[in-house]
Structure 1
Amino acid sequence: MSPHDTVLEPTGDLLALLRALCDLPSVSGSEAAIADAVEAALAPYPHLEVLRDGDAVVARTSLGRAARVIVAGHLDTVPIAGNVPTTLVGTGDDAQVWGRGTVDMKGGVAIQVALAAALTAPTRDVTWVFYDNEEVDAALSGLGRIVRNHPDWLVADFAVLGEPTNAGLEGGCNGTLRVEVRVPGVAAHSARSWMGTNAVHGAGEVLRRLTAYAATDVEVEGLVYREGMNAVAIRGGVAGNVIPDECVVTVNYRFAPSRSVDEAIAHVRELFDGFEVTVTDASGGARPGLDAPAAADFAAAVLTFTGGAPAPKFGWTDVARFAELGIPAVNFGPGDPLLAHKDDEHCAVRQLHLCHDALRSWLTT
């Protein structure tokens, strides 16, 4: 069967729905089939208005409730690493489902699809958002495209992003910044290397500064965010007998939401003073915002199910995009975020049902 023929059963078994979503490959840039499947699954329900923009799908109620909330999740995954189709280990709520996307974040998407179909009369109007291209550069984001093309689709009082949180509540998120640090050199034949300047060797100073960099913990509104500065790629050289005349180190800086993007850029430029620094991608973080009434109400409701206390989100998520729109937002979904993007990605079935039941209770009481 072609991926475009996949049929989702939103009112069937939640675990089966998750596995169907994960077994439908949707690496960033190739989300058409899964978007088609989600749209086809929700279109028959009369209580939903289903909208489409590219490979993003929006389904919303219009019941005239006093408040409207967004429940959102991305459809894409990082590249598959031999971990599709999914496998199930164990039985019952002690089981774990293994495979790409089980954590990041088709568990959250499965819950969205199931509840969108089932909740014909929620106590709040709900806009269910399924979008593409979250795992790549911010400029490609399907959610960003909706902001530009259909801002009226994202009018709401509060938003929940189903990113993996170990079934806990995570507030805000770190910002993320990628830069290219260029090290110049002078090309020469490698047999006469003294006639050139080796840019790859010169990159050692960039790496030394990164190695010496001390990550800091920053408290923001009672939550402690951990920053990080790391080389994530390096390139240089044109041939096996040529001294490289340029080396480029790509650096990713994860910064606490107390910093603006401009402040983060200034910090990176200061660290690499003396080198050419080019910003290639930047997204600001989001402060926790848990003191907003809607966020406090949500926290009280879901923590009744899950226990624990709110925690910071160390990775960047689209709560930052909602914050830019003036919409308080939190992260809440099944799966251990430490397993996101790993070859052994897997999600506890217990968490899948726990998050489903918590969201259902909040939306029906």
Structure 2
Amino acid sequence: MNFEKYPFERLNELLADVVPNEEYELSALTIGEPKFETPGFIQKTLKETTASLKKYPASGGLPELKQAMVNFVKERFNVDIKQSEVIPTFGTREALFNFPQFALFDKKDPVIAFTNPFYQIYEGAAIASRAEVIHIDLTKENDFKAQLSDEELKRCDLVILNYPNNPTSAEMTKEELGLWVKKALEFDFILINDECYSEIYFDEDDKPASLLEASIEVGNTSFKNVLVMNSISKRSSAPGLRSGFVAGDEEILKAYMKYRTYVGCASPVPLQITAAVAWNNKEHVDEFRAVYKENFQLAKEILGINPPKATFYIWLEVKDELEFTKELYKQKHIKVLPGSFLGRNGIGKGYVRIALVENAQKTKEVLTRLKDFIDGQK
């Protein structure tokens, strides 16, 4: 298999010969990893459950973990799902990689479509599945919203959307997602929305919609051909807990579960017990959300940008993203990720992705440094 280099490896190569300004401490705004302590109640639960390491973890997940995920979907999206309509996963990365291989295995000439720019696991899954790729280009002209022609959709076996979107921070409404559900039924392809940023939003009256909500809205109450994936990593500042899920079409999940028993990716029992506690608690998420909201208020004041409605990313338009990245590192000791490393066919060129995952004090300092650099480029 010939996998492309990961964006962070390409960034290291880009900056290899650049000598940074050591007057400043390094600020890495590149990776979507929260820099906050995992809440104490989550850590406490994990420490208290180590005795369960003597047990093999069930591939299908503990009933209490599945119920916590059912509870989350009900509380957050007002959608009732059954335990048979959800599978706990070892984060979402492993499922995003292996589900396409499962779903496309029996297809003669498989075709997968996914948003572009993208989380590189989508592309890796396509390569591992020997699938032809149709890129769903997200541009300023289409408001970074996914669009494909009927001719392209007729060819698709699997489509992966990602809203709220990484890296553009764009959203799609429930009505817009509903149109995709209708197309999935009309042309009989599996539709996935990667919703791992659904909980990083800033307005209680304008929360990101789920594809499950959209499915019900258009009358697809059994979620036929529809799946969502979500994760606790961003929501609970616990990426090391490796707790995610895939939910939706019961028939697809039944077959996928059989496949998963062979993959051997069941989460250890202590992690499952701890994850159940975290999924059942929303107060700690409100606290993290308040920090991210403050960070974007600072970004608005300092950089003059319009804050996104969700995610913790700024998709900043620049003249030359590679030169911008190198000079910013050289002059201000700040790392950002060139948008062209996240896209294909020229998509992402002219942008850098900035992750605001620190506390407000650190965020204010680095954004001020960034502003000084931008002003110096004019």
Question: So what's the TM-score if we normalise by structure 2?
Answer: 0.23
More helix as a share of residues? 2
Give 1 or 2 for the bigger CA radius of gyration.
Answer: 1
Question: So what's the TM-score if we normalise by structure 1?
Answer: 0.24
More strand as a share of residues? 1
